[in-house]
Structure 1
Amino acid sequence: MKNMKLKSLAMTATALVLTGTLAACGGSNSGSNSGTNTAEGGTGGNTEKKVTLSLLVDNTQDSVNLANAYVDAFQKKYPNITVEMETRPGGGEGDNIVKTRLATGDMTDVFFYNSGSLMQALSPEKNMLDLTNEAFQSNIVDSFKPTVSFDGKVYGVPTSSTIAGGWFYNKKIYSELGLKVPITWDELIANNEKIKASGISPVIGSYKDSWTSQLVVLADYYNVQAQVPSFADDFTAHKATFAGTPAALRSFEKLQELYDKGFMNKDMLATTYDAGLKMLADGKGAHYPMLSFASPSLVQNFPDEIENIGFFAQPGDDASKNGLSVWMPGAGYIYKETKNVEAAKQFLAFMASVEGTQVAATVSKPTGPYLIKDAKIPDDVPTLVKDMLPYFESGKTAPALEFVSPVKGPSLEQITVEVGAGIKKAPEGAAAYDKDVEKQAKQLGLAGW
């Protein structure tokens, strides 16, 4: 995830970031001649004919572990269905492989891929099976569905847990200074003033890894859509811009304000992501705007401090509209030309169940709540992950902009470094980003550009 498609969950991404080779595990519909497609929902142990499904996933260790866990549990429950897995590289190379295999009719029965704008670039109406009316869709939280939808039809199910964009904070510092978790931007600014007066850096900047500079702008999207519900559609249609929409410009203004008030560590341009996490854990910095995908690194590298770190959503200007921007996980899709439709649907139905999330949790600790109704995160996740639950339980979440609009400019991280380091003012940064997205929008052939 390192470009915030975040590097969008290429670090899972969440940052989110991928090498490897395509494993030769069979052709696209390797089981199309090995049985019928009569598999139905129900319990294991049935006497139906054997069916073999092919599955394509990226080759990151977490993705492979997750897919293997799903496959093993599914095959035990439905022994008439065998799932054969292939792997592909991640990143741009993997994107090209997926697009090529779809274009040549050589795609597997089921494949895991990004949700959001990258999914929309795959021409889902031509290449993916419409899952809108499947019964298992009732298990899936509604906020996920727009990220795997195209022209009103739903094509995917989530493969893992959510990732949230917001602020990590050091609980020891908050306790020592008598601070409360802020729910408005003014409250956050007031906290930062007290932290600065104590001699601690209020906000950690790690702009040496420039992708981290985007968080204040991107995590603010819940606040943008709360004020302008049509912004994603209008932005996609070129009817709205960041510079011309006060609620969206505010995201850049917040980033500028952190610099103007001297809240950032002075060596922000030389500080890396890893160093930022250490500053937070060591209490050298009080806040770190970041994605929750950082929680596994904190657990691994700072186990003694993990319970001293909390998480809150980026505050807006209205306490009654406090909510969380969410980076959605990738999704499982069915190739439209599969000859094993029912077995493929059954596999996705298993993933989209509480049982499926329990299987996933055995190999991949969630970095946020699951998107399956009634699914619970394990008790042994860090408290900072549990801090996200109230937002989901109250329905106060929204997908990050890149999951509801295909328009995402490649230079945002350079622009936010400039605004966050005082090189550009917020209006200049917002205008630069509006110009940055034009090329991509035109490449996508979007109306209005």
Structure 2
Amino acid sequence: MKKMSLVVIALLLVFSVILGACSKETPDSAQPSSGTSETPVKEELASPDVPPASKQYKGEIVISLDNASIEGFESLQEAYKKVQPDVKLIWEPKGGPGVDYTSILGTMLASGTPRPDIVAGAYMPTYNKYLNFDRYRYQTNPYTGNPWDEDLDWNFWVGKNAGGARSVLATQSVHIMWFYNKDIFNKLGLVPPTTWSEMVQVAKKINEAGIIPIASSYGYKVPLWMNEIYMDQFTRKWHDIVRAQPGDYNFDDEIDGKFVADPKDPYLNSKYNFNQARFYKGIKDGTIRFDTPEVAELVKNMAMLFPKYAQKDFFVASDEYQLFLQQKAAMIIDGTWTLPTLTKDMANLNDPKRLEELQIKASGSLQSFEWGTFENPAMEGSLVQGPVRSVESATGEYISIIDKNQEQSDMVLDFVMFWLSKPGYQAWIDGQVKANKFTPGGPIMVKGVKVPADIKAQFDNVKMLGNAEIVMNNLLLTRVADLDTGNFNLFKEALEGKITPEEFGKKLQKTWTDNLNKIINQAGLTADNIENPARAPGK
């Protein structure tokens, strides 16, 4: 199944009652079947020579991720055994089709001493017994001789909890972009849009030709991805409100003391330390609001496209990839994982097993077509505060260590250092490549590893724009399930024209302000944290 980006996980955490599971079990999953008929990669991706570990460990490490890649694990296990022969790795994956990993993880973590040592902590970020990886970021990796910071890109995505501890490391990056049918565009004399107004005009012409302009999902793609991407164009002034201030527990003079907010900087939010308490304090004090002309402008623009130019069952549909593959829809918004997926599907377009997996019944009748990608068209106008960016999140493996005791944690950390550096991750990749099951979700963030040339070529063309997936751009997402359900319904009413964009903003503002204590408690903070944001949470 397709590995989910963290924005999808965030939605599922608060909508588990609605959506039911943590991996995308619905047929819209754009992940090719493990049985896809394709010529195996011929090139050798041999694992590098690994120096002996400086310390030998003895014990067991239980790994319970949402990833069920037994091929990758067996290769990794074999490589690690050469350097730590007395450490037994136990692979107990809890993910897969139809499996609610979040619920399973919650049950495991609720026990006094959880059985697993390594879990996908991104699904349960508020758990308070994860190891803080930042304490070991600059520690020498015994398997490379480098500071660990040089073996893994620690900056592309930062998985920290409300207290500022880095509890999750990820291995692959995600970039959200648009995929389009070049044949349809060429036939209609269209070019990929670069602005929102151009996007509306392109959609209008495609619709007039009797083709669905955009196939998408109201489950998460429009209310989360697109709202984050475009809310971001209207919130650049908020960065000075939410960043760590002098005296704050997470203020770093070398970083925050030199920070100057540049609304045109695509990596603006990675150049300061975010203080989540200051975000909520801004809502309480009224310096951060949602009943503004900016939010109204966002909603007005979104309603120009949705649901007007989407498939008829847009609000309940989950078949956007299938519609695109069948050339019934001209455009979809999706992530980097779709690059290798679409390439494979085009090469095996009428594979009966794959069509059955996608629940496409037109076996033997699908025609290949030229396709391409374009970046998010920018909204324009006097209220826009900065250029358009994207959702650039994390996928692949989400690694968290449960901190049980010093001896066990040291051993588990040794293994994770091996895994998330060239010696271990190359072995992980090699096992999957050998089995023809390597389908990464995006560019690999472990440094120095080799991937098949065709996949490398696809990802080499990805243009990173900066990440709009940050807390203050999640205007609908309070992470309190009943409130978020209400916010999604409210946004739906605004898109349908049942309420005005201004009415939407007023109602959304009321939801946030009337329920702020419930929201901050769900985030793991207290009212005192909001009143005193300089203090570290829990102090």
**Equivalent pair of 1:113/1:332 in contact (CA under 8 Å):** yes
1:220 aligns with 2:265: no
Counterpart for residue 303 of structure 2: 256
Among 441, 444, 447, the alignment partner of 1:370 is 444
Cα distance in structure 1, aligned partners of 2:419 and 2:472: 21
Matches within 5 A, 1:366-445: 366-373=440-447, 378-381=452-455, 387=461, 389-391=462-464, 396-398=465-467, 400-401=469-470, 407-409=478-480, 410-411=484-485, 412-434=487-509, 438=515, 439-444=518-523, 445=525
Q: Which amino acid aligns with 1:268?
A: F
Gap change, CA 1:264 and 1:245, over 3 Å in 2: same
**SS of corresponding position for 2:194:** coil
Please tell me whether residue 265 in structure 1 is matched to residue 311 in structure 2.
yes
Change (3 A) 1:263 1:127: closer
Partners of 1:433 and 1:75 lie apart in 2 by: 54
Any conservation in 1 of the 2:26–2:318 contact (CA below 8 Å)? Answer: no
Question: Which residue number in structure 2 is paired with residue 97 of structure 1?
Answer: 107
Where do 5+ consecutive residues of structure 2 fail to align? Answer: 14-20, 30-48, 138-146, 243-273, 350-366, 532-539
- Match of residue 315 from structure 1: 377
Structure-2 change in CA distance of 1:390 and 1:50 (3 Å): same
Please tell me whether residue 73 in structure 1 is matched to residue 140 in structure 2: no
- Say which structure is richer in strand: 1
1:154 equivalenced with 2:166 (yes/no): yes
Structure-1 residue corresponding to 2:331: 287
Which residue of the other structure, out of 331, 336, 340, is the alignment partner of 2:398?
331
Change over 3 Å in CA distance of 1:185–1:413 after alignment to 2: same
3-state secondary structure, aligned to 1:173: helix
Match of 1:185 in 2: 196
Residues of 2 paired with 1:293 and 1:408: CA distance?
26
Structure number with larger C-alpha Rg: 2
Q: How many Å apart are 1:94 and its aligned residue?
A: 2.1
2:73 counterpart of 1:57? no
Query: Do the aligned partners of 2:337 and 2:439 also contact (CA within 8 Å) in 1?
Result: no
1:128 aligns with 2:131: yes
Deviation per CA, 1:364-385: give whole Å up to 9, x if none: 4112222334556543339875
Please give the alpha-carbon distance, in whole angstroms, between the structure 2 residues aligned to 1:114 and 1:283.
Answer: 35
Shift of 1:127: 3.8
Deviations 1:285-319 (A, max 9, x none): 22223445556765665544787343344333369
Q: What is the CA–CA distance in structure 1 between the aligned matches of 2:450 and 2:281, rounded to whole Å?
A: 38
> Do 1:108 and 1:335's aligned partners in 2 also have CA atoms closer than 8 Å?
yes
In the aligned structure 2, how far is the partner of 1:14 from the partner of 1:372? 30
Kindly provide the amino acid, as one letter, of the partner of residue 175 in structure 1: N
Is residue 3–residue 15 contact of structure 1 (8 Å, CA) maintained in 2? no
CA contact (8 A) 1:162 1:366 kept: no
2:89 matches 1:83: yes
Q: Which amino acid aligns with 2:466?
A: T
Q: Which amino acid aligns with 2:134?
A: L
TM-fit CA distance, 1:54:
1.6
- Do the aligned partners of residues 12 and 268 (structure 1) sit closer, same or farther apart at CA in structure 2, a change above 3 Å counting? closer
Which segment is superposed worse, 278-287 or 350-359? 350-359
- The answer (yes or no) to whether the contact 1:157–1:333 under 8 Å persists in 2 is yes
Structure 1, unpaired ranges of 5+: 18-41
What is the alpha-carbon distance in structure 1 between the residues aligned to residue 511 and residue 387 of structure 2? 30
Q: 1:370, 1:114 → 2: CA distance?
A: 18
Tell me how far apart the structure 1 counterparts of residues 107 and 498 of structure 2 sit (CA, whole Å).
Answer: 39
CA deviations on 1:240-283 (whole Å, 9 max, x unpaired) are 656245555554333212148x423344346x322x22221232
Change (3 A) 1:341 1:364: same
Pairing of 1:136-215 with structure 2 (within 5 A): 136-148=148-160, 151-158=163-170, 160-207=171-218, 210-214=219-223, 215=225
The alpha-carbon distance between structure 1 residues 16 and 71, as it changes in their structure 2 partners (threshold 3 A), is farther
SS in 2 for 1:97: helix
| Rounded Cα–Cα distance in structure 1 between residues aligned with 2:488 and 2:72 | 30
**Residues 297, 138 of structure 1: CA spacing in aligned structure 2 closer, same or farther, 3 A cutoff?**
closer
Secondary structure of the corresponding residue to residue 74 of structure 1: helix
- Take 2:27 and 2:494, find their aligned partners in 1: how far apart are those partners? 20
- In the alignment, the residues of structure 2 paired with residue 236 and residue 13 of structure 1 have an alpha-carbon distance, to the nearest angstrom, of 34
Contact 1:256 1:425 in 2 (8 A): no
Change (3 A) 1:291 1:335: same
Aligned residues: 406
Higher relative contact order (CA 8 A, sep 6+): 2
Alpha-carbon contact 2:216-2:222 (below 8 Å) kept: yes
One-letter code of the match for 2:303? Q
190 and 87 in structure 1: CA distance in 2 versus 1, 3 angstrom threshold: same
* TM superposition shift of 1:356: 4.4
Mapped to 2, the partners of 1:419 and 1:74 lie a distance apart of 54
Give the letter aligned to residue 263 of structure 1. Answer: Y
Cα distance between partner residues in 2 of 1:433 and 1:4: 23
Return the alpha-carbon distance in structure 2 between the equivalents of residues 212 and 193 of structure 1: 21
Change (3 A) 1:92 1:343: closer
TM-score by length of 2: 0.62
Hey, what does 1:11 align to over in structure 2?
Answer: 23
Q: Could you tell me which amino acid in structure 2 is paired with residue 279 of structure 1?
A: L
CA drift of 1:164 comes to 3.1
- Offset from partner CA, 1:332-361 (integer Å, 9 cap, x none): 122323323443222222332245444444
**Structure 1 residue 114, shift from structure 2 partner:** 1.0
| Partner SS for 2:373 | strand
Whole-angstrom distance in 1 between the partners of 2:28 and 2:471? 13
* Aligned: 1:109 with 2:171: no
Check whether the contact 1:7–1:16 (CA below 8 A) recurs between aligned residues.
no
1:60–1:84 Cα change, 3 Å? closer
How far the C-alpha of 1:400 sits from its partner, in A, is 1.6
Contact 1:173 1:286 in 2 (8 A): yes
Contact residue 149 and residue 155 of structure 1 kept, 8 A:
yes
Instruction: Give the drift of 1:324.
Output: 2.0
**Equivalent-residue separation in structure 2 for 1:248 and 1:82 (angstroms):** 54
